[in-house]
Amino acid sequence: MEEKTLPIHCMMCNQQHKEGLKLLGKYICTSCERDLVECDAGELRYLHYIFRLRALFSESITN
């Protein structure tokens, strides 16, 4: 991987990416987005995503 600053900082995996989905002023990279869509309810990582999204939504409501 190249050592340069990429425009997208993914809030899910905390890594820099070339492109991603903007959601409430934050970004989810395309691989995390795909992961989120494909993962099954009940999986641990699904709970992790929901937790992160809930934190994000409550943040945006407060502001």
Which residues contact Zn ion by CB under 5 A? 10, 12-13, 29, 32
Nearest to 9 by CA among 30, 21, 27, 33: 27
Nearest-approach distance from CB 52 to Zn ion, in angstroms? 11
Nearest-approach distance from CB 17 to Zn ion, in angstroms? 6
**CB nearer Zn ion, residue 45 or residue 54:** 45
Q: Exposed, middle or buried: residue 29 (CB in 10 Å: 0-12, 13-18, 19+)?
A: buried
> What does the block give as tokens for 56?
């994000």
**CB nearer Zn ion, residue 16 or residue 60:** 16
